[in-house]
Amino acid sequence: MSEQQPKTNPERMEKIVSLCKRRGFVFQSSEIYGGLNGCWDYGPLGVELKRNLKDYWWRVMVRERDDVVGMDGSILMNRAVWKASGHEETFTDPMVDCRVCKARLRADQLPDKEGVKYCPTCGSRDLTEARAFNLMFLTYVGATQDESSKTYLRPETAQAIFVQFKNVLEVSRKKLPFGIAQVGKAFRNEINPRNFTFRSREFEQMELEYFCAPAQGRELLEYWLQERLRFYENIGLPREKLHVHEIPAEERAFYSQGTYDIEFEFPFGIQELEGVAYRTDYDLTQHIKASGKPLDYFDEETKQRFVPHVVEPSAGVDRTALALICSAYDEETVTDEKGKSETRIVLHFHPRMAPIKVGIFPLLKNNPQLVAKAREISALLRPHMMTFYDEGGAIGRRYRRQDEVGTPFGVTVDFDTLGEKGDELKDTVTLRHRDSMKQERVAIKDLLGLILPQL
Ligand code: GAP
């Protein structure tokens, strides 16, 4: 955490967690059996939000670039990978036990009073000495469970990229600098999962390993920091809520020549969204040493052979999705024409990230012509975007339901659409904008052209 923390807001966080469950963004995993700590299921809206985020990341990091290709590595890998990468030896957090309530706690996250650490669960100061706890989930491959069949669920996606570096380089015929990107699950047996999905035991990462000549590393670290900040702004996180924390040399991994954390102001404090790290040639060199295979690069122009350096922007899908929800959440007091005030809960998602792009509403559900027209509009828009058809309840209620899940556009089919006020308004609808609540009359044939460029 970088600077002075702004005030935390547990009440706001509680409301966000409650909305996530109520509206189907996130459920507790295995809920009917009491849950599983640190594991979450994404419901119909959460899965759309995550997909929009991952698709946009893939679009800007892979498809729109000449210098990046993708891959999808397996979650289970040879144990030798985790020995070589250093994870088996050092991927640990310091753990202490409370001797009174038996809570297992992360030693580096304990609260203290006048310099004395205490248990956040029961308040006792009777804690054990810290010892290293390895965060990787151990598993066995095949039918025998012995030393030879041991491996781990991957704690990061990056290692698959390093060990496939040579294969990908050869098939893609890229020249340095170039990158390999991957999105996928990672698993860490966190001592204290907390802050909703923020620190989970199963989560997804979006990682790029960008390989370069040693002389380019420092400059590319700065380049990728700026690119990544631009990404977060482009998905709707306000720049003033994003913080950059440069990790001081004494806190960085010994091989790193520079690391930035990109942080976000969550209601529970300023916390890391992504690490952008200049990892030098550490990972490839480790795998060269351990496997005996050449993972180096021959530069045709300079006729030099060397082990590429790596700059790694590594982001969390779940953390970013949570940041999007926290940033979008708003409660507004709105007053209707009759002077009646009420609270409007709204998620101000960027249209690109919103799970549902447009709600489609026939004014009355018992009028077959209105319903048929609304269905027709759904069929027109559905191939291009996520739509939601809703005919139940007063129209104001239906708008509110969509506001609460962040749907940026609402299309209402009324009697004017059917031509009851003459030909001028025939085949036009009301297009309602979520944030301003302004409504405009637009032709059905213009809807796609109006909405699509904003997604
Ligand atoms: N390959 C580098 C690496 O894994 P990291 O800082 O340990 O670096 C990168 O993880 C990102 O993965 C973090 O910035 C965060 O967004 C996400 N992440 C890490 N641990 C997580 C956890 N327990 N729950 C949710 N996301 C996590």
In the 3-class helix/strand/coil scheme, how is 161-206 assigned residue by residue?
HHHCHHHHHHHHCCCCCEEEEEEEEEECCCCCCECCCCECCEEEEE
Number of other CB atoms surrounding residue 115 within 10 Å: 5
- Measure 343 CA to ligand 1 centroid, in angstroms: 36
Ligand 1 pocket by Cβ (under 6 Å): 156, 158, 188, 190, 199-200, 203, 205, 207, 272-275, 314-316, 318-319
What phi and psi, each to the nearest 5 degrees, are found at residue 454? -90, -5
* CA-proximal residue: ligand 1, atom 9 (nearest): 314
Regarding pTM above 0.85, the answer is yes
- Of all protein residues, the one whose alpha carbon is nearest to atom 7 of ligand 1 is 156
Residue of 314, 317, 322 with the most ligand 1 atoms within 8 Å of its CB, for mutation: 314
Choose one of 156, 161, 189, 197 to mutate for the ligand 1 pocket test, by most ligand atoms within 8 angstroms of C-beta. Answer: 156
Determine the distance separating the centroid of ligand 1 and the alpha carbon of 315, expressed in angstroms.
Answer: 7
pLDDT for 5:
64
Q: How far is the CA of 80 from the centre of ligand 1 (A)?
A: 22
Q: Kind of pairing, strands 358-362 and 409-413?
A: parallel
Q: Which residue's CA is minimally distant from atom 17 of ligand 1? A: 316
Contact 320/53 with Cβ under 8 angstroms? yes
C-alpha 35 to ligand 1 mean position (Å): 23
What six digits make up the tokens of 450?
């109006």
CA of 292 to the centre of ligand 1 (A): 29
Name which residue sits closest to atom 18 of ligand 1, judged by CA.
316
Residue 29 Cα, ligand 1 centroid: separation in angstroms? Answer: 20
Return the best residue to mutate from 205, 231, 263, 311 for the ligand 1 pocket (most ligand atoms within 8 A of CB).
205
What is the pLDDT, as a whole number, of residue 110?
A: 92
Q: How far is ligand 1, taken at its centre, from the CA of residue 205, in Å?
A: 7
Phi, psi of 450 (to 5 degrees): -80, -40
Q: How far is the CA of 4 from the centre of ligand 1 (A)?
A: 22
Give me ligand 1 centre to Cα 314, in Å. 7
What per-residue confidence (pLDDT) applies to 128? 95
pLDDT given for residue 3 in this prediction: 47
Top mutation candidate among 319, 320, 322, 324 for ligand 1, by most atoms within 8 Å of CB: 319
Q: Whose CA is nearest to atom 12 of ligand 1?
A: 316
Residue minimizing CA distance to atom 16 of ligand 1: 316
pLDDT in 10s for each residue of the chain, 455 residues: 444 567 899 999 999 999 999 999 999 999 999 999 999 999 999 999 999 999 999 999 999 999 999 999 999 999 999 999 999 999 999 999 999 999 999 998 899 998 899 999 999 999 999 999 999 999 999 999 999 999 999 999 999 999 999 999 999 999 999 999 999 999 999 998 999 999 999 999 999 999 999 999 999 999 999 999 999 999 999 999 999 999 999 999 888 999 999 999 999 999 999 999 999 999 999 999 999 999 999 999 999 999 999 999 999 999 999 999 999 999 999 988 888 899 999 999 999 999 999 999 999 999 999 999 999 999 999 999 999 999 999 999 999 999 999 999 999 999 999 999 888 999 999 999 999 999 999 999 999 999 999 99
Q: Under a CB-based contact definition with an 8 Å cutoff, are residues 136 and 87 in contact?
A: yes
Residue nearest to atom 14 of ligand 1 (CA): 274
Largest CA distance in the chain: 82
